[in-house]
């Protein structure tokens, strides 16, 4: 397929803001891909060239794009920078400078999607000496045969800012519409289920093209990450029983981070975080525990890693051990300083078979059969199965005494639903004034904080429209020095590479960095796009294990607001 054809679809999607219209445009295009058996182009629709679970990055800066553009167009780098300052979007600049160039008519000059996929896929492999030059020639090779509109989307893809407003929900709906006669709720769910198991839209699309039966038969593959099942909220123990039924399962809600541990039939162990980043290398201790304490040839298990103090054996909060996710050096030293215990609470795959459709009662029994408990290394989550409100309350109290966040309340009969926030697994915590939010902007500091970002714009997610909406600004909670904890400097380092726009001291950043915010209360406010504002927000932790899709939604914040209002009134 010609890349121009795809670029025209991008344009169409960008112009039409309604989700219904976008779905119609995309499903028409997918029908064409289906006829041509060209499933991988769906990655390019996502602004990617690999499946969602892949961690490979292009590693391309704006500077490199400018150089490649200069080389391909003959316009000077300084001129391009000048235009970029005026227009603000390097994609539009590319459209302008490449648009002037005469188009070749020879077939060899026609840019094909296959070539774009090929060149872009080579970028993450390049590192070390000469890598920048090689990267530049791969990009300028594409740009040289690109027209204005093609250049615009190549540059935007490279910079991770496609701006066509297509979230994964739209892709899912479009696949259902393109592959089945009707886009029924069942068809859409079948596409979503398949995606949650394999996190790869091209493969899901391929299966959907073959029919509903093939889609339903999507198999879990240990070693490929799958999306974790997520919880809804309970307001109290009584509310928990009402929602999941009685008797119910109560488990400690450990204050750590999620680990999905895979062991394939060759014995290879891989660990993934909730946002599907692979962290196996950071946790040789966990790999060892898994080998020693879990008796099975292949599995996918779900658990929470929680930190503790080696001397007092007291559990520590998440923020005390968060460094373990990101630090890639001196790991042995870190293991000694910040030891973790792995608490297993679910099993999703066992000895070649999916456990997804088995009731929780069976899954929880199975983990107790194959795991040898060894406190402070690896164990099954503390659990109570009861129909007694009093006993459940005691258990909840004990969890809090043991420095954990609260309890999880689970239905005994329920299946495992990857990627879904289900009503049969609930979380109950005492204080509700903590939120995970994504940083979408910041402000350069003054005085002693010159050159450092010192105020951060926080956003929640509108899950219907797939947008991020501002809800407040936080400038406290961080440390001046890195040794003392999460610092301004550290956050600046993370955000600097994500800046998409600068105006005076204000910057806009790509929504990638997630933080936990402690606040006093929520108010209605016309100042922010979300319609709400947080009072006294403080940044208390960096959540490198979480994805922007995991942040609090507008709906949840509306719920929290109402709960706060009720508390004030009664």
Q: Is 171 left (phi over 0), alpha (psi -120 to 50) or beta?
A: alpha
- For ligand AMP, the binding residues in 26-85 under the rule CB under 6 A are none
Decide whether 151 or 342 has the Cβ nearer to ligand AMP. Answer: 342
Nearest CA among 170, 230, 203, 153 for reference residue 29 = 170
How far is 307 from 313, CA to CA, in rounded Å? Answer: 9
How far is 378 from 343, CA to CA, in rounded Å? Answer: 6
* C-beta of residue 176 within 8 angstroms of C-beta of residue 193: no
Decide whether 68 or 435 has the Cβ nearer to ligand AMP. Answer: 435
- For ligand AMP, the binding residues in 423-482 under the rule CB under 6 A are 427
From the list 348, 381, 539, 551, which residue makes contact with ligand AMP (rule: CB under 6 A)? 381
Burial tier of 250 (Cβ tally within 10 Å: 0-12, 13-18, 19+): buried
How far is 478 from 490, CA to CA, in rounded Å? Answer: 10
In the residue annotation, 493 being an active-site residue is answered as: no
Shortest separation between residue 404's beta carbon and ligand AMP, angstroms: 8
Tokens at 535, concatenated: 């009072």
Alpha carbon separation from 507 to 238, 440, 499, 515 (Å, rounded): 46, 9, 6, 18
Shortest separation between residue 233's beta carbon and ligand AMP, angstroms: 8
Q: Does 180 sit near ligand AMP (CB under 6 A)?
A: no
Decide whether 180 or 416 has the Cβ nearer to ligand AMP. Answer: 416
Shortest separation between residue 343's beta carbon and ligand AMP, angstroms: 7
- Which of these is catalytic: 34, 183, 253, 263? 253
Nearest CA among 488, 472, 555 for reference residue 520 = 472
How far is 28 from 393, CA to CA, in rounded Å? Answer: 54
* C-beta of residue 130 within 8 angstroms of C-beta of residue 187: no
Shortest separation between residue 256's beta carbon and ligand AMP, angstroms: 7
* C-beta of residue 229 within 8 angstroms of C-beta of residue 380: no
Decide whether 95 or 341 has the Cβ nearer to ligand AMP. Answer: 341
- For ligand AMP, the binding residues in 195-214 under the rule CB under 6 A are none
Decide whether 22 or 363 has the Cβ nearer to ligand AMP. Answer: 363
Decide whether 345 or 532 has the Cβ nearer to ligand AMP. Answer: 345
- For ligand AMP, the binding residues in 266-285 under the rule CB under 6 A are 274
From the list 22, 34, 39, 258, which residue makes contact with ligand AMP (rule: CB under 6 A)? 258
β-bridge pairing 499-503 and 299-307: unpaired
Decide whether 178 or 381 has the Cβ nearer to ligand AMP. Answer: 381
From the list 345, 349, 350, 528, which residue makes contact with ligand AMP (rule: CB under 6 A)? 345
Alpha carbon separation from 73 to 8, 213, 318, 549 (Å, rounded): 21, 50, 50, 38
How far is 253 from 345, CA to CA, in rounded Å? Answer: 10
Q: Does 304 sit near ligand AMP (CB under 6 A)?
A: yes
Find the part of the chain contacting ligand AMP (CB under 6 A) among 136-144, 246-254, 497-505, 528-536. 246-254
Q: Does 549 sit near ligand AMP (CB under 6 A)?
A: no
How far is 489 from 491, CA to CA, in rounded Å? Answer: 6
Decide whether 93 or 514 has the Cβ nearer to ligand AMP. Answer: 514
* C-beta of residue 471 within 8 angstroms of C-beta of residue 437: yes
Q: Residues binding ligand AMP: what is the number (CB under 6 A)?
A: 13
Q: Does 227 sit near ligand AMP (CB under 6 A)?
A: no
Find the part of the chain contacting ligand AMP (CB under 6 A) among 37-45, 159-167, 245-253, 504-512. 245-253
Find the part of the chain contacting ligand AMP (CB under 6 A) among 247-255, 443-451, 453-461, 501-509. 247-255
Nearest CA among 503, 421, 520 for reference residue 461 = 421
Find the part of the chain contacting ligand AMP (CB under 6 A) among 131-139, 250-258, 357-365, 502-510. 250-258
From the list 251, 285, 470, 544, which residue makes contact with ligand AMP (rule: CB under 6 A)? 251
From the list 408, 420, 517, 548, which residue makes contact with ligand AMP (rule: CB under 6 A)? 408
How far is 34 from 207, CA to CA, in rounded Å? Answer: 11
How far is 438 from 514, CA to CA, in rounded Å? Answer: 4
Shortest separation between residue 10's beta carbon and ligand AMP, angstroms: 34
Binding site for ligand AMP (CB under 6 A): 230-231, 251-254, 258, 274, 304, 345, 381, 408, 427
Residues with a catalytic annotation lie at 253
């Amino acid at each position: 397929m010609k890349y121009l054809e795809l670029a025209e679809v991008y344009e169409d999607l960008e112009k039409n803001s309604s989700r219904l219209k976008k779905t119609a445009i995309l499903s028409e295009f997918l029908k064409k891909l289906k006829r041509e058996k060209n499933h991988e182009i769906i990655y390019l629709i996502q602004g990617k060239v690999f499946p969602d679970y892949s961690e490979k990055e292009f590693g391309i800066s704006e500077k490199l794009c400018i150089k490649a553009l200069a080389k391909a167009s003959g316009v000077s780098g300084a001129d391009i920078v000048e235009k970029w300052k005026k227009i603000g979007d390097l994609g539009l600049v590319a459209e302008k400078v490449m648009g002037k160039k005469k188009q070749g008519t020879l077939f060899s000059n026609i840019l094909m999607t296959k070539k774009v996929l090929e060149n872009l896929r080579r970028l993450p492999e390049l590192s070390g000496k000469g890598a920048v030059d090689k990267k530049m020639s791969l990009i300028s090779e594409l740009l040289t045969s690109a027209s204005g509109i093609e250049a615009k989307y190549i540059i935007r893809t490279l910079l991770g800012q496609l701006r066509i407003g297509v979230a994964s929900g739209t892709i899912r709906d479009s696949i259902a519409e393109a592959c089945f006669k009707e886009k029924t709720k069942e068809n859409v769910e079948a596409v979503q289920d398949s995606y949650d198991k394999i996190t790869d839209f091209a493969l899901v699309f391929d299966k959907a093209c073959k029919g509903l039966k093939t889609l339903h038969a999507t198999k879990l593959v240990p070693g490929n990450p799958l999306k974790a099942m997520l919880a809804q909220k309970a307001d109290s123990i009584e509310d928990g029983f009402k929602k999941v039924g009685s008797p119910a399962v109560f488990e400690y809600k450990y204050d750590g981070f999620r680990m999905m541990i895979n062991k394939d039939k060759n014995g290879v162990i891989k660990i993934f975080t909730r946002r599907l980043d692979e962290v196996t290398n950071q946790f040789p201790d966990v790999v060892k525990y898994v080998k020693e304490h879990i008796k099975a040839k292949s599995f996918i298990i779900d658990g929470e890693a929680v930190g503790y103090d080696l001397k007092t054996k007291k559990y520590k909060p998440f923020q005390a051990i968060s460094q373990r996710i990101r630090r890639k050096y001196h790991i042995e030293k870190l293991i000694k300083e910040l030891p973790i215990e792995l608490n297993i609470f679910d099993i999703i795959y066992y000895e070649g078979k999916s456990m997804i459709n088995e009731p929780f009662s069976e899954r929880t029994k199975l983990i107790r059969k194959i795991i040898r408990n060894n406190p402070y290394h690896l164990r099954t989550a503390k659990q109570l199965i009861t129909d007694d409100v009093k006993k459940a309350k005691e258990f909840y109290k004990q969890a809090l005494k043991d420095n954990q966040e609260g309890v999880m309340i689970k239905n005994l009969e329920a299946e495992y639903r990857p990627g879904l926030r289900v009503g049969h697994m609930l979380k109950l915590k005492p204080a509700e004034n903590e939120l995970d939010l994504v940083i979408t902007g910041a402000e350069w500091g003054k005085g002693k904080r010159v050159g450092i970002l010192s105020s951060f714009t926080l956003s929640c997610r509108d899950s219907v429209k797939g947008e991020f909406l501002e809800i407040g600004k936080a400038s406290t909670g961080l440390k001046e020095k890195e040794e003392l904890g999460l610092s301004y400097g550290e956050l600046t380092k993370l955000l600097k590479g994500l800046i998409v726009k600068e105006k005076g001291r204000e910057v806009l950043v790509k929504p990638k960095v997630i933080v936990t915010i402690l606040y006093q209360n929520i108010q209605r406010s016309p100042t922010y796009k979300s319609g709400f504002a947080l009072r006294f927000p403080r940044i208390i932790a960096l959540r490198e294990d979480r994805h922007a899709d995991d942040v609090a939604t507008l709906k949840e914040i509306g719920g929290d607001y109402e709960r706060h209002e009720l508390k004030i009134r009664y």
